[in-house]
């Protein structure tokens, strides 16, 4: 019997090549032109789970993309770990900003990944991180080291809001019953500063439409005499933050969790370099809510951001026109106790209330979800902590993330179990951006660390 490190060093080239094959399939859930590839990716994931030795592997059809479910049950009296991940990826656009094509993975060295990183859409979010679990299971089964039951649930619609997964989870509570949920779909501070994500922000995503005159108008004949929807929308959006960068939506902060000074001081101890942060983004200053640090602004505080804005003429050259309509997509990141449906309603009421005469506004909610905070004294957290201590030789720092995985709050509600977020990516891995990548060291470290989580979890559960 080998320990994870030995097994990985023997099989590492194959582990990398298998991931590269998975990354070649463009499973872009947001774009229906990639429907066939997305279905094909589900099959590839199912096959990989069959191959490592799951007894049951199912491709569960939904009205959207299927959910891959698999399990290996060794004894009903032993604990069960449920692994969740997603096989869909974000659209790679804009393509011209990639140094190599997003679905033709290449390995390149970077400053932070001197041992090389795989560049491809989905490398880190989440194919690479999800596949670590498949390979960790391979190790455990091949070496008779699987100490408990394991279930996998890998979905294909995370990047578009997990609507069908929510439906599936609510209808399959027994099938999905577990003692702990394990997810690798977040990040850590640095390769030499391991951290475990203890919080995710909630999300409310809306689209707004401002309509002025009933048709596009000549901007000379009508300009100055009618409300220009793009001007109005810009003004309305600008008014959503005050001079201190507080959000002005009425009632927005009413339920926001207030951290004590001690809690904030503790957060402030996590290693962070503002100079490095600015340098990595080529900015000369950070920007955000008055009274909070950069780390706080991007984790324990709620936000409101325009994600896209359009209308009028944006083609080549100039066209003199006042558009009939203007649009924007807006995301609000939420923190504990803010309810996403309530916030969506508050936003809608506020946005309609600030609309001036001469235009009409329409607010359409897209998707959303609640935030999540996991305690650091649970068996799951302590087992993860011990696993990192074993493989990183350092105690991981608990850290709340700014990102969202809305389904996690729903897991707790429907399946009554806690989620442990063992993410091995770095913020600089460019998830959702051009040139997304995942460090090979990180990929292999994840595979090495996961089996220890199982071992310690089962031990502590006794
Ligand atoms: N894996 C990310 C979320 C994430 C990344 C959390 C890094 C913490 C650290 C996930 O795939 C994602 O992109 N979620 C979306 C929300 C979803 C509803 C589209 C997000 O956070 O924008
Ligand atoms: Mn993800
Ligand atoms: Mn994502």
For ligand 1, atom 19, the nearest C-alpha belongs to 159
Ligand 1 geometric centre to CA of 353 (Å): 31
Which among 292, 258, 202, 267 is positioned nearest to 398, based on CA atoms? 267
For residue 158 and ligand 1, the question of a CB distance below 6 A is answered with: yes
Q: Residue 334: what pLDDT?
A: 98
Q: Are strands 149-155 and 67-72 parallel, antiparallel or unpaired?
A: antiparallel
pLDDT value at residue 104: 98
**CATH code of domain 4-200+371-461:** 3.40.630.10
Cα 405 to middle of ligand 1, angstroms: 5
In which residue are the tokens 């670590």 written?
A: 132
Distance 385 CA to ligand 2 centre (A): 22
CB of 159 closer than 6 angstroms to any ligand 1 atom? yes
Is the shortest distance between the CB of 161 and ligand 1 below 6 Å?
yes
Ligand (nearest to CA of 331) = 1
Ligand 1 touching residue 155 (CB < 6 A): no
d(CA 389, CA 391): 6
The four Cα atoms 233, 235, 238, 244 give a dihedral, to 10 degrees, of -160
What is the spatial distance between Cα 250 and Cα 363, in angstroms, rounded to a whole number?
16
CA 83 – CA 328 distance, rounded (Å): 36
Ligand 2 centroid to 225 CA: how many Å? 47
**How remote is the CA of residue 89 from the centroid of ligand 3, in Å?**
7
**Ligand whose nearest atom lies closest to the CA of 85:** 2
Pocket test for ligand 1, best of 87, 163, 185 (most atoms within 8 A of CB): 185
Query: CB–CB of 201/408 below 8 Å?
Result: no
- Where exactly does CATH 3.40.630.10 map onto the chain? 4-200+371-461
Our answer on whether the CB atom of 126 is closer than 6 Å to any ligand 1 atom is yes
Please work out whether the CB of residue 92 comes within 6 Å of at least one atom of ligand 1: no
Note the Cα 171 to chain centre separation in Å: 24
Nearest CA to ligand 1 atom 6: 403
Run of H or E including 322: strand 321-322
* 214 CA to centre of ligand 1 in angstroms: 38
Residues of the chain with CATH 3.30.70.360: 202-256+302-369
125 lines ligand 1 (CB under 6 A): yes
CB of 88 closer than 6 A to ligand 1?
Answer: no
Residues 389/383, Cβ–Cβ less than 8 Å: no
What is the C-alpha separation between 41 and 43, in angstroms, rounded?
5
**How many angstroms does the Cα of residue 143 sit away from the middle of ligand 1?**
34
Question: What 8-state DSSP symbol labels residue 429?
Answer: G
- Which tokens in the block code for residue 194? 């391991």
**pLDDT tens track, the chain, 462 positions:** 799 999 999 999 999 999 999 999 999 999 999 999 999 999 999 999 999 999 999 999 999 999 999 999 999 999 999 999 999 999 999 999 999 999 999 999 999 999 999 999 999 999 999 999 999 999 999 999 999 999 999 999 999 989 899 999 999 999 999 999 999 999 999 999 999 999 999 999 999 999 999 999 999 999 999 999 999 999 999 999 999 999 999 999 999 988 999 989 988 998 999 999 999 999 999 999 999 999 999 999 999 999 999 999 999 999 999 999 999 999 999 998 999 999 999 999 999 999 999 999 999 999 899 999 999 999 999 999 999 999 999 999 999 999 999 999 999 999 999 999 999 999 999 999 999 999 999 999 999 999 999 999 999 999
Please check whether residue 16 is in contact with residue 443, taking contact to mean a CB–CB distance below 8 angstroms.
Answer: yes
- Who's near 355: CB < 8 A, 6+ residues apart? 210, 232, 236, 361
Best of 28, 158, 162, 197 to mutate for ligand 1, by most ligand atoms within 8 A of CB?
158
Ligand 2 midpoint to CA 100 (Å): 22
Ligand 1 atom closest to the CA of 159, numbered from 1:
19
Nearest-atom number in ligand 1 for the CA of 201 is: 21
Q: Which atom of ligand 1 is nearest to the CA of 197?
A: 8
pTM of the model: 0.94
CATH topology (fold) of 202-256+302-369: Alpha-Beta Plaits (3.30.70)
Write down the pLDDT at residue 1. Answer: 73
Name the DSSP class of 241: B
Question: Residue 87, Cβ neighbours under 10 Å: how many?
Answer: 28
Q: Which atom of ligand 1 approaches the CA of 369 most closely?
A: 18
């Amino acid at each position: 019997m080998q320990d994870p490190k030995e097994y990985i060093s023997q099989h590492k080239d194959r582990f990398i090549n298998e991931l590269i094959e998975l990354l070649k399939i463009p499973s872009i859930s947001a774009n229906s032109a990639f429907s066939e590839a997305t279905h094909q990716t589900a099959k590839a994931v199912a096959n990989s789970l069959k191959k490592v030795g799951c007894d049951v592997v199912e491709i569960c059809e939904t009205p959207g993309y299927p959910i891959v479910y698999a399990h290996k049950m060794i004894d009903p009296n032993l604990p069960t770990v449920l692994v969740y991940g997603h096989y869909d990826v974000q659209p790679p656009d804009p393509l011209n900003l990639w140094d190599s094509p997003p679905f033709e993975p290449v390995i390149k060295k970077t400053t932070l990944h001197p041992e090389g990183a795989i560049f491809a859409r989905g490398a880190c979010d989440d194919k690479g991180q999800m596949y670590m679990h498949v390979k960790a299971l391979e190790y455990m089964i091949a070496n008779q080291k699987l100490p408990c039951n394991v279930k996998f649930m890998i979905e294909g619609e995370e990047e578009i809001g997990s609507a069908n997964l929510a439906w599936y989870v609510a209808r399959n509570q027994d099938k999905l019953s577990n003692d702990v949920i394990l997810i690798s779909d977040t990040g850590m501070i640095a390769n030499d500063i391991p951290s475990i994500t203890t919080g995710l922000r909630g999300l409310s995503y809306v689209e707004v439409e401002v309509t002025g005159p009933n048709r596009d108008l000549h901007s000379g004949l009508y300009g100055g005499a009618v409300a220009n929807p793009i001007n109005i929308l810009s003004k309305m959006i600008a008014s959503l933050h005050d001079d201190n960068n507080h959000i002005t939506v009425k009632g927005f902060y009413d339920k926001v969790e207030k951290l004590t000074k001690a809690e904030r001081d503790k957060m402030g101890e996590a290693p962070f370099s503002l100079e490095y942060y600015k340098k990595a983004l080529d900015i000369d200053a950070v920007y955000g809510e008055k009274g909070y640090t950069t780390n706080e602004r991007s984790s324990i505080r709620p936000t409101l951001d325009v994600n896209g804005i359009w209308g009028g003429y944006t083609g080549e050259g100039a066209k003199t026109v006042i558009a009939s309509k203007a649009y924007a997509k807006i995301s609000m990141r939420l923190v504990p106790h803010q309810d996403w449906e309530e916030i969506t309603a508050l936003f809608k009421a506020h946005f309609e209330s600030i609309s001036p005469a001469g235009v009409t506004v329409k607010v359409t909610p897209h998707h959303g979800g609640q935030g999540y905070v996991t305690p650091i004294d649970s068996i799951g957290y302590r087992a993860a902590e011990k696993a990192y201590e074993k493989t990183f030789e350092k105690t991981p720092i608990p850290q709340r993330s700014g990102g969202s995985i809305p389904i996690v709050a729903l897991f707790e509600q429907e399946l009554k179990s806690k989620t442990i977020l063992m993410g091995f990516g770095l913020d600089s891995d460019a998830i959702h951006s051009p040139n997304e990548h995942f460090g090979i060291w990180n990929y292999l470290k994840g595979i090495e660390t996961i089996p220890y989580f199982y071992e310690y979890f089962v031990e502590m559960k006794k």
